[in-house]
Chains A and B, each alone.
Chain A
Amino acid sequence: MTPLSERQWRFLLSLGQRLVPPLKDLDEEGLARFRTIIAAALAERPAAVQRQIRLFLALLRLAPLLRWAATFDRLSAPCQDRFLRWLQDDAPGRLRQGLWGVKTMVFMGYYGQAELAPQLGYTPCRTGNEMLHG
């Protein structure tokens, strides 16, 4: 069973694009890897943790209603960023930690793709010493 519903995946992707803007430039293969990595990481977690993540995603989507009368996915990009920044810097501990968890998941799905490493300027090799002095 996939740990997130289709709707949750779509939301995670739109949220992810605020957290990691280059995510929107990924091709289909890259997006599939993004999803596979996150699904695998979630699948390894206990059911209770998976539930917490689903709940937190729902909260992230709905919480902006209180201030902007719109769900997260209907906010403008600057408002989305402002909301995320509030969560990161000023929200109560649990919410802050929740964002940290979701952010980490998105980072894992994107930066964990070995195929993207050259775009990051990261090109390690087994014989790195040979590259040290030009």
Chain B
Amino acid sequence: MGERSFDIVIIGSGAGGGAVAKELAPLCRDGVRIAVLEWGPKLAEHEYTGRELEMAGKLYVDSGGVFTRQRTMTLAFGRAYGGSTVVYTGTSLMIPERPVRRWGVPGLEWSDLRRRSLKYLRENNVHLLEEERLNDNNRLFFQACTKLGLRVEQFPVNLKGCQGSGMCNLGCPNAAKQGTHRVQLPAAEAAGVEVITNCKVQRIEGRGLLRAVVEKRPYGLPSLWEPGEYLIRARVVVVAGGAVQSPALLLRSGFGRHLPALGRYFTAHPALILVGEHPRPITNFYGHPKSFYCDHFADRGFLLETCMYFPFVTAKNLIGFGEEHAQLMHRMDRLQMILVLALDPALPENRVVLDRDGEPVVEYTFSEPVLDALLESMKVSARIFFAAGCERVHAPAGEKFFIERTEQDRLDQLITRRRLQPGRISVASAHLMGGCRMGAGPTDSVTDCWGQVHGVPWLFVADSSLFPNCAEINPYVTIMAFADRVAEAVRSRWREV
């Protein structure tokens, strides 16, 4: 078994781990040894092919289809140098004041998160796409929302040299998206941080002692370390494996014994992909896929965003099968798509637990308000599709496969709650949050407002698992702001540990 020793070890290299690595990297000048241990591979540029199944297999855990225990929702999260920042669309929103105030975490102020978020918006080249870069799928959504009097905003995006491949969720083949794999990690490495890919941390054995294994993969650049088992010592450990893997690692390592909230209060922004069909081809898979969002219904529990997915993902998100399904699927160039995000509350029973092999399993039950929100979102989306010019719409809770334009006055009868059965419709999530929530004390939270695990001065968490409740927006900028706070805490405390 190989042995390694560092001052600070960061587990995970996504929005949280990547940001912490860069913020702490200047310490390397003073001889501080810092490592990032990343489970996933670092792909060579030529390996970003944009092929759906191939890239899903290389960049996501279980190809992006991790089931909840109830088998009613699939979870998509990245596993790569850069974590999920490799496979998101680059939308970069700053969290509004309202959710932070609602969280009520002592010591966590919106103004502080705002200041830190602004830093990352600058660092990641966040800007609005020029109008001529917007495709029909996006423009039509904006126009329809405006026509219907709905509040609609343009997404700022973190792109540099975007060529509009539309393949953001498969890892940008043009290296345009400014995730941590393009910005923070290379900067950290240049300053002396070691990033070890293909390295899965299995367990925290004791105070600052990690057991990990480096795997050999048939793709990606070789890891800095030879394949095999490792024992790694660190004075400070920062866990940043995301809302599924971070709670799982801490549970495997026995921290659940004195932290009853560990793994609990998991939220996910459960999402539906909805489609409308235009009578003629529109530009949808050309250009950036996600330019607008509508938060008009946030108080009613959902957000709407533009999106454009790939054939297999689209097929599995339509309800039904047979001729109608195939007919719609063979008109990909006519489809307008909307992504619904339900704003789900953090409930203690929705949680990450371990199976017999110590692997994470997410237990998630849809609450009634979430199901109500999903139902209403389908009706609102149908109205938007028709206002945009679609001739027919597919709603997963529809009484029939297609709702025709002539039927748009009967949406309440045609989209019904009895058809909204979990397990019948496809619900997916890519905004996984909670499980190591921040809070005042160990009875109902896992860390303090600086990400330090309650009662464990050498252990920090810096990722989406810190959210005390759902973000109500795309969470990655806020994760970076959290990580920035964690880095500040580590910087000031690590020598005392």
Contacts and interface: CB of A to CB of B under 8 A. Distances in A.
A43 to B, nearest CB: 11
B312 A93 contact: no
Nearest to A117: B311
A1 interface: no
B287 A111 contact: no
Given A93-B423, A111-B311, A120-B332, A125 B165 contact: yes
Contact of A125 (B63, B286, B315): B286
Nearest to B321: A19
A112 B53 contact: yes
A22 B326 CA distance: 7
Contacts of A125: 165, 286
A100 interface: yes
A126 B173 contact: yes
Interface in A98-134: 100-101, 103-104, 107-108, 110-112, 114, 116-117, 119-133
Contacts of A103: 316, 321
B55 to A, nearest CB: 11
B368 interface: no
B64 to A, nearest CB: 11
B331 interface: yes
A114 B52 contact: yes
A127 B133 CA distance: 12
Contacts of B423: 93, 96-97, 100
Nearest to A19: B321
B321 A122 contact: no
A126 B174 contact: yes
B165 A21 contact: no
B491 interface: no
Given A96-B423, A111-B329, A124 B321 contact: no
Nearest to A20: B326
Contacts of B63: 41, 44
Interface residues of A, number: 42
A122 B424 contact: no
B334 interface: yes
B424 A96 contact: yes
Contacts of A100: 71, 423-424, 426
Interface in B247-302: 281, 283, 285-287
B332 A107 contact: no
Given A107-B312, A129-B164, A114 B51 contact: yes
B332 A131 contact: no
A116 B167 CA distance: 17
B132 A132 contact: yes
B5 interface: no
Interface in A14-46: 18-22, 37, 41, 44
Give the dominant DSSP class at B's interface: loop
Interface residues of B, number: 50
Interface string B99-133: 00000000000000000000000000000000011
Contact of A97 (B72, B167, B332): B72
A124 B281 contact: no
B320 interface: yes
A47 to B, nearest CB: 12
A132 B333 contact: no
Contacts of A84: 321
B53 A132 contact: no
Contact of B330 (A22, A37, A108, A129): A22
A100 B422 CA distance: 11
B3 interface: no
Interface centre among A88, A97, A101, A129 (most CB of B within 10 A): A129
B52 A89 contact: no
Contacts of A133: 132
A129 B307 CA distance: 16
A96 B421 contact: yes
B281 A121 contact: yes
A89 B162 contact: no
Nearest to B314: A111
B160 to A, nearest CB: 14
Nearest to A120: B332
B409 interface: no
Contact of A122 (B65, B320, B333): B333
B323 interface: yes
Contact of B320 (A22, A88, A114, A121): A88
28 contacts: A19-B322, A44-B62, A89-B419, A96-B423, A97-B423, A100-B71, A101-B71, A107-B316, A108-B316, A112-B53, A114-B52, A114-B53, A119-B330, A120-B330, A121-B330, A121-B333, A122-B285, A123-B285, A123-B333, A124-B50, A124-B167, A124-B286, A126-B165, A128-B166, A129-B162, A129-B286, A130-B164, A133-B132
Given A22-B330, A121-B331, 7 more contacts: A112-B52, A112-B53, A114-B53, A120-B329, A121-B281, A129-B133, A131-B286
Interface of A: 18-22, 37, 41, 44, 81, 84, 88-89, 93, 96-97, 100-101, 103-104, 107-108, 110-112, 114, 116-117, 119-133
Closest 5 CB pairs of A and B: A129-B164, A128-B286, A128-B164, A121-B333, A122-B332
